[in-house]
Amino acid sequence: MSTAPPTQHNNPLHGLTLETIVTALVAHFGWAELAIRIPVRCFSNDPSIASSLKFLRKTPWARDKVEGLYQFMLREIKRADLDKPQV
């Protein structure tokens, strides 16, 4: 009997760490925009990846918002790529 978990082909978060997600959001939006979109102190007052991870690991509702914003960002990037003229 196999103990491997089932693959999640349609889950864009599968296999990603929270650190990877937060790092990508900061690279895409920046801390200031991230603090506007998800108003929590770890993004607005002396933000860092480490402090954000510590907060998000203890706060499920905030983690859900971060994961949702990450999925929105992926859709936004995909749309932008589709709108580019083909060369």
Domains of the chain in start order, with CATH, are 18-82 (1.10.720.30)
DSSP at 81:
H
Per residue in 24-54, pLDDT (tens digit) is: 999 999 999 999 999 999 999 999 999 999 9
d(CA 36, CA 4): 40
User: What is the model's pTM?
Assistant: 0.81
Per residue in 13-26, pLDDT (tens digit) is: 778 899 999 999 99
